[in-house]
């Protein structure tokens, strides 16, 4: 029988959030005999849709076109740098919390973009059998504006999604 390959979405690299993720990591560990669990952290871009700014008419408040290009490059590099930093922090936490010999091995990936789309793309790239995600339980204006990554995963993914409530620390 083929082992279950799990992609587990982590929404932050803060110590508190990572500690709350431990039960999900342990659950994934119990459910798989695969060689690794993939932890995925997606950072939302600092400036989203920068390409569209040039299409909105008067850009005099931004300055020159060259300045816009430099700003776009700066934010892209900053986002990618922060994603690498996140990846390192999550890997460091896992090594300290679970040890180097933790089986299955934990592989950490961080990227920049729309959370649900990037999580699904990574899960598909590793041929995951299941996606684990914690539910934020957003309400009111936050839910309308931000939506829910867990909800979007359930609606968009062809891979089964297990949604866990966030546990308080």
Residues 117, 121: Cα–Cα separation, whole Å? 6
Does residue 134 register a pLDDT over 70? yes
Mean pLDDT of the chain: 77
Does residue 129 register a pLDDT over 90? yes
Residues 24, 137: Cα–Cα separation, whole Å? 17
Does residue 166 register a pLDDT over 90? no
Q: What is the C-alpha R_g of the chain?
A: 18
Does residue 53 register a pLDDT over 70? no
All domains of the chain in start order, with CATH:
6-44+86-165 (3.40.50.620)
Does residue 135 register a pLDDT over 90? no
Write out pLDDT tens, residues 29-46: 888 877 889 999 888 776
Structure confidence at residue 127 (pLDDT): 93
| Helix extents (H) in the chain | 15-31, 50-53, 65-98, 115-125, 140-146, 149-156
């Amino acid at each position: 029988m083929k082992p279950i390959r799990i992609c587990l979405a982590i929404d932050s690299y803060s110590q508190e959030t990572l500690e709350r993720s431990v039960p999900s990591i342990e659950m994934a560990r119990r459910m798989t005999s695969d060689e690794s669990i993939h932890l995925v952290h997606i950072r939302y871009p600092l400036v989203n849709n920068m390409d569209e700014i040039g299409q909105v008419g008067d850009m005099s408040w931004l300055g020159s076109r060259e300045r816009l290009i430099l700003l776009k490059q700066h934010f892209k590099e900053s986002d990618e740098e922060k994603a690498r930093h996140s990846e390192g922090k999550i890997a460091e936490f896992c090594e300290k919390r679970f040890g180097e010999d933790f089986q299955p091995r934990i592989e950490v990936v961080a990227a920049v973009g729309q959370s649900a789309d990037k999580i699904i793309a990574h899960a598909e790239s590793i041929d995951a059998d299941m996606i684990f995600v914690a539910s934020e339980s957003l309400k009111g204006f936050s839910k309308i504006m931000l939506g829910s990554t867990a909800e979007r995963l359930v609606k968009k993914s062809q891979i089964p999604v297990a949604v866990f409530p966030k546990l308080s620390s």
